Structure 1
Amino acid sequence: MPLKDTLPKNWPPNLPYLTTPSYSRSLIPTNLSALRTKPQDIADIPPNTPRGPCNLVKITPIATPTHPANGQSGLFATKDLKPGTFILRYIGEVHASSDLDPDPHSESNYDLSLEREHGIGIDADKKGNEARFINDYRGVAERPNAEFKEVWDEKRKERGMGVWVLPEGKSGKGKGIRKGEEILVSYGRGFWGARKNTEGARDRDRCR
């Protein structure tokens, strides 16, 4: 784990900070083979990307009552970011789908799907990097200004997930991100649908 003075500002003191992915014991050889096979049309992580705290972003506590993440934190740009810019990698525990009951990743709010065919995901719930603080745009802005997109790490020869500023050509939505603006993505309908179903089940349980 990095020394305290190399951690990003406002990083939670009890949460391990990762500069490279960690790997779950749930990964089997076929998972690892898929993880280390480069797909066509996948972008490389820019070679000059630093390994450690990202100077393009800062973790900032949110104290706006109308913000859905009020009382928590968000990720904000420290400089103007042009459309299509690679911001940072989403780092956490790389894992495979689990048959355990309960699945240790099933209710995580930080679990991203990386490779669907082999059920590989990245969960930054218990350890990760600054990217875990990126919020959904709903209730904050009219549309997202960034997106999750798969990347290839040429140094490690493996697939991963990156955060990119939306490009200009994406339905004209890519306007860039200004210094001081919150970096916002769309978590997707699947994320909110799953949580709606979970909340509904909990409400039903309370009525029993």
Structure 2
Amino acid sequence: MPPKAEDVPKNWPPALPYLRTPSHSSSLTPDHISSLRKRPNDTLSIPANTPKGPCPLVKITPITTPSHPANGQSGLFAAKDLKPGTFILQYLGEIHPTTSVHPDGSLPVDPHANSNYDLSLDRELGLGIDADKRGNEARFINDYRGVADKPNAEFKEIWDERRKERGMGVWVLPEGKSGKGKGVRKGEEILVSYGRGFWGARKGDGEG
């Protein structure tokens, strides 16, 4: 049965599963699960009043500006003014190992290696969150390059007290000593930095 309109955000792709909680890959080991359930020091918690389901702070909007690198696709825009340091929403997708061994024992392979929606959660343990096949509004956040002079938001690790589990969240940049975080005004696109690793891996692919 297809989801009801009120159960998914406006402009959500109808063929893509919408997540309210993270999805766990069947390839996760007991050690991975144990690590996910240990809160790292200094990790911020998701605010207790954060709703599950469509986020009221954002809206998915088709991009029609020819000069925008994501023209013809969609971006995530602020539905209201967001102050510096505001928690926006969690980045939901499939939590998975970044490498896994093929059943025949051949060299390790990473089925998520070519995904444009795969976010690193723990490099040391080899854990990622991939929103390619399923996710929430956060998968529509674009990189600031070619759109603005600098990002206005960032990815930061979070702790979900309700699930007792680590994850990644999207936050408005704080003000900071340099005043780099100005907040996000209603109607502005939420933009982050994908990082050099993302673009370096895609040189020659004709993307971005």
Short-chain TM bin: over 0.9
CA distance in 2, matches of 1:18, 1:2: 11
CA distance in 2, matches of 1:171, 1:193: 28
Aligned partner (choices 128, 132, 138) of residue 135 of structure 2: 128
1:3 corresponds in structure 2 to: 4
2:175 corresponds in structure 1 to: 168
2:157 corresponds in structure 1 to: 150
CA distance in 2, matches of 1:34, 1:3: 35
2:110 corresponds in structure 1 to: 103
2:74 corresponds in structure 1 to: 73
* Residue 58 in structure 1 maps to residue 59 in structure 2: yes
Aligned residues: 199
User: By percentage of residues, which structure has more helix?
Assistant: 1
Aligned amino acid, residue 37 of structure 2: R
Deviation for aligned residue 1:115: 1.1
CA distance in 1, matches of 2:178, 2:90: 24
1:199 corresponds in structure 2 to: 205
CA distance in 1, matches of 2:158, 2:177: 18
Q: Deviation per CA, 1:4-37, whole angstroms, max 9, x where unpaired?
A: 3321000001000000011101100111111110
Equivalent positions of 1:13-28 (< 5 A) are 13-28=14-29
Deviation for aligned residue 1:149: 0.3
CA distance in 1, matches of 2:90, 2:70: 22
* Residue 183 in structure 1 maps to residue 184 in structure 2: no
Give 3-state SS (helix, strand or coil) of 2:99's partner.
coil
Give 3-state SS (helix, strand or coil) of 2:155's partner.
strand
Q: Deviation per CA, 1:149-183, whole angstroms, max 9, x where unpaired?
A: 00000010000000000000164210000000000
Give 3-state SS (helix, strand or coil) of 2:202's partner.
helix
Deviation for aligned residue 1:2: 4.7
Deviation for aligned residue 1:144: 0.1
Give the alignment's TM-score, normalised by structure 2: 0.92
* Residue 159 in structure 1 maps to residue 198 in structure 2: no
CA distance in 2, matches of 1:152, 1:171: 27
Report the aligned-residue RMSD. Answer: 1.4
CA distance in 2, matches of 1:4, 1:177: 27
- Percent of aligned positions with the same letter in both sequences? 75
Give the alignment's TM-score, normalised by structure 1: 0.92
Aligned amino acid, residue 29 of structure 1: P
Aligned partner (choices 135, 139, 144) of residue 146 of structure 2: 139
Aligned amino acid, residue 24 of structure 1: S
